[in-house]
Amino acid sequence: MGLVSRGAAAAGVGAASAVVRPGPPHAVPHPIPTPPPEGAALGSSRVPGMVLKAFFPTCCASADSGLLVGRWVPEQSSAVVLAVVHFPFIPLQVKELLAQVHQAGRVGLAVLGTWCHRRQEAEESLGHFLEGLGTIFSHEPWLQLCREQGSKLWSCKATRRQVPPCPGAPYEDQVMLVFYDQRKVLLSQLHPPAALPDCLAGDAAPSAGGLAAVFDTVARSEALFRSDRFDDGPVRLSHWQSDGVEASILAELAKRASGPVCVLLACLLSLVSAASACRLFKLWPLSFVWSKLSVCEQLRHRLEQLTLVFSTQKAENPTQLMRKANVLVSVLLDVALGLALLSWLRGKDRIGPLAEALVPVADHVAEELQHLLQWLMGAPAGLKMNRALDQVLGRFFLYHLHLWISYIHLMSPFIERILWHVGLSACLGLTVALSILSDIIALLTFHIYCFYVYGARLYCLKICGLSSLWRLFRGKKWNVLRQRVDSCSYDLDQLFIGTLLFTILVFLLPTTALYYLVFTLLRLLVVAVQGLMHLLVDLINSLPLYSLGLRLCRPYRLAAGVKFRVLEHEAGRPLRLLMQINPLPYGRVVHTYRLPSCGCHPTHPWGSLCRKLFFGELIYPWRQRGDKQA
């Protein structure tokens, strides 16, 4: 392999097999000319063209002279420089390297131009030698970047040799040099802008598309950054990993061991899923219990989470990878909190005292309810009640309360064992323990729920009767077939019976409404306690902890956009900018990466809740088929 001189490089001789080395210092007497400023003289040999953007990595600012390798984005008139190829090199091997990167990342890379870093005075003649390389690596436009030794002066120009506007004069573009941190751009994920008004959406689309092209180019060219200066490869490059490829022995060992572990756990989870889908669990009593208990829904949700985490399928995009990481961190935090709760319960044997205190607390609650019923059976707050209905309702509820106290005392020998199993279930996570605790509270307050149902049904029956009789007085009736109110004529007997019934219901309504109001307040108190538990469970299940950790520790990993800082803006010099990443706001991080929750409990808007309470409609402790998922 012979040396290629400046004349041979210009003629294209030996372009494929020759080793390209810089020529001797005396070959060219003049340095690279700087691009003319705006408003150049009429006699200038350069013809100014369009303004293009050259994205240059900051890690290559002190690299040795060589070739600029990157991608040209014609839609944005931008050149994304990825690395610098140093001398000596064989052009055919450089093209083979670019072809390998294109096959690995599906991104078209090319030699965009030359890079000249003048470290000594004798190296000033290197510029004209680099100009001749444009005939070997033909690219339009051809970039020529140069940096003076020991100064902040940069010269940039881009020439086009095809169809010059003036004979013998190359067509030259103005270059705007934009520096970027290659490592941060590679590791970051650019998120699309939020919804903008119509007047601003069109202005933001081109800039967002240009930034997406830069981030996508760097991300797809990861195969180019796998070699460093310690490798004995045929091509020597400068990029962000030139001083050594970032790696970790623990991370590599975890990658090696994750494959067999994921396969084994995926098989076990598939067996558990097949067992849970057995026909035995689809029978009516078991299917009803499975769909209504919070712990069953949480276990099903945990099975879905583990199936996603230990899936052998590779994530197709960064969003799926981020979701897997968020689910994994959520499960690990949940299990860690559950183990902390278990250690606290087993530390000083707190389960025994809790079991012994549970029965006296239940007796005290039952005693307070008994006093409340006796107060309602008298003259509560000086109100005049219907004594006959008041006594019937009071004795009915007292009988149910007596049955409940007997049930609690019957279950008292097994309470400690039940609490021990609840504490043991915390090994599966704090959310599982909280779900079991919510179900236990629902069972312990089942008598309050029964009281609420009885009172709500009586109250709703009276409200519906009064509304129907009120329509009777106005000569109206409810058309069941057409679901509307129509006119109707009633005879004297119907009006007389309706008046009697309306009077009876009106005078019985305060007694029923008082019982309904008291037991509804008690029911809402229980629902509030269970709602706090469900809120904590949903917070652990849906909060994207991994994404929030990235936003806190490495904000550049979640990019919402970029900002530019002016480094140099002088007449006759190229405009130099520094591109910095704007991190994604915390609220948008939660909104973008929030995980789905189990959603077994109902969620009612305030308007719907008040309407149901006023008309006596039941508020179920589980989600109905007609309820919408929040």
Backbone angles phi, psi at 478, to 5 degrees: -90, 120
**The pLDDT value given to residue 202:** 42
Q: Is the pLDDT of residue 249 over 80?
A: no
Q: What rounded mean pLDDT belongs to the chain?
A: 78
| pLDDT for the residue numbered 193 | 66
- What are 157's strand-pairing partners? 144
Whether 486 has a pLDDT exceeding 90, the answer reads no
Q: What pLDDT band is residue 333 in, cutting at 50, 70 and 90?
A: very high
Q: How many CB atoms lie within 10 A of CB 349?
A: 9
Q: Phi and psi for 128 in degrees, rounded to 5?
A: -70, -30
Plot region of 77 (φ>0 → left; ψ -120 to 50 → alpha; else → beta): left
Tell me the residue type at 345: L
Q: Roughly what angle, to the nearest 10 degrees, separates helices 586-593 and 318-347?
A: 90
Tell me the CA distances in angstroms from 357 to 47, 360, 525, one per residue in order: 92, 6, 21
CA 217, CA 74: separation in Å to the nearest integer? 13
Nearest of 383, 390, 378, 530 to residue 448 by alpha carbon = 530
pLDDT of 630 = 39
Q: Can you tell me the distance from the alpha carbon of 364 to that of 354, in angstroms, rounded to the nearest whole number? A: 15
The predicted structure's pLDDT at residue 602: 58
Cα(261)–Cα(279) distance, integer angstroms: 30
The residue type found at 323 is R
Q: Are 82 and 218 in contact (CB under 8 A)?
A: yes
Tell me whether strands 66-73 and 110-117 are parallel, antiparallel or unpaired. Answer: antiparallel
The answer, yes or no, to whether residue 11 has pLDDT greater than 60, is: no
Does residue 311 contact residue 262 with C-beta atoms inside 8 Å?
yes
Contact 452/614 with Cβ under 8 angstroms?
no
The alpha-carbon radius of gyration of the chain (Å, integer) is: 39
Greatest Cα pair distance in the chain: 125
Q: Which of 164, 165, 250, 176 is nearest to 567 (CA)?
A: 176
Beta bridge partners of 576: 177, 568
Please give the pLDDT value at position 258. Answer: 76
Residue pair 157/34 in contact (Cβ under 8 Å)? The answer is: yes
Pairing of strands 47-57, 78-86: parallel
Residue 616 and residue 210: Cα distance in Å, rounded?
59
Least confident of 28-37, 177-186, 478-487, 562-571: 28-37
Helix or strand holding residue 4 (H, E)? none
- For residue 88, whether the previous peptide bond is cis, meaning omega lies within 30 degrees of 0, is yes
Residues recorded for the chain:
630
| DSSP code, position 481 | T
The helix (H) or strand (E) run that includes residue 179 is: strand 171-180
Identify the DSSP state of 280. G
Question: How many CB atoms are closer than 10 A to CB 107?
Answer: 21
3-class DSSP state of 113: strand
* Weakest-pLDDT range from 258-262, 360-364, 523-527: 258-262
Query: Tokens 């990481």 correspond to what residue?
Result: 325
Q: So what's the pLDDT on residue 199?
A: 40
Name the least confident of 170-174, 435-439, 584-588.
Answer: 170-174
Per-residue confidence (pLDDT) for residue 293, from 0 to 100: 83
β-strand 171-180 against 78-86: which pairing, if any? unpaired
pLDDT band of residue 245 (cuts 50, 70, 90) is: low
The tokens for 493 are 């007997």
Confidence band, pLDDT 50/70/90 cuts, at residue 596: confident
Residue 378 CB coordination number (10 Å): 11
- What is the DSSP-derived secondary structure letter of residue 249? H
pLDDT value, residue 206: 44
With bands split at pLDDT 50, 70 and 90, how would you rate the model's confidence at 223?
confident
CA dist., res. 582 & res. 559, Å (int) = 6
247: pLDDT strictly greater than 70: no
CA 490 to chain centre: 63
Stated as kind and residue range, the H or E segment containing 563 is strand 558-568
Averaged pLDDT, 563-575: 83
pLDDT value, residue 10 = 37
Residue with tokens 């030139």: 242
Query: CA torsion angle for 427, 428, 430, 431 (degrees, to 10)?
Result: -160
State pLDDT tens for residues 84-135: 888 787 888 888 888 888 888 888 888 888 888 776 444 555 555 566 666 6
Q: Residue 558: which of 207, 182, 191, 217 has the closest Cα?
A: 191
Q: What pLDDT score was predicted for residue 327?
A: 93
Between these two residues, 280 and 391, which has the higher pLDDT value?
391
Pull the structure tokens for residue 535: 């809120």
Smallest Cα–Cα separation from 436: which of 450, 448, 422?
A: 422
Cis peptide before 167 (omega within 30 of 0): no
| pLDDT confidence of residue 334 | 93
378 phi and psi, to 5 degrees?
Answer: -95, -125
Q: Which residue has the tokens 């004798």?
A: 122
List Cα–Cα distances, 341 to 2, 335, 350, 407, 428, in angstroms.
75, 10, 11, 29, 11
Single out the residue of 210, 270, 169, 228 nearest to residue 77, CA to CA: 210
Q: Is the pLDDT of residue 30 over 60?
A: no
- Lookup: tokens for 1: 């392999």
Of 104, 59, 90, 114, the closest CA to residue 229 belongs to 59
